[in-house]
Amino acid sequence: MSTIEPVNFPFYGEAVTLNVTVLSFLTSATTATTYWTLNTIDEIQCAEGNYSMTPEQFAAWGQDNTVVDEYVADAIGVVIVPPIV
């Protein structure tokens, strides 16, 4: 889950989190599809969809799963807020 800059949805409120799940893929795959949701602070789902990584993104995925959140955020036009340290 990543915190995002608030996105207003008239019937639901402001989405403030992006949740991304990478769906199953074969070990020979060169890409993978994700399922994403935008949720309010109360976990009310405002939007959902799928995003398929490009072969280049899949190859660069590596060891850090948070990069997948960045791919999806960029594709759907939301901004991830860096964690406060």
SS3 33: strand
Predicted pLDDT at 12: 93
In the chain, what are the domain boundaries? 2-70
pLDDT in tens, 5-55: 999 999 999 999 999 999 999 989 999 999 999 999 999 999 999 999 999
Contacts of 24 (CB under 8 A, 6+ apart): none
Region label for 27, one of left (φ > 0), alpha (ψ between -120 and 50) or beta (otherwise)? alpha
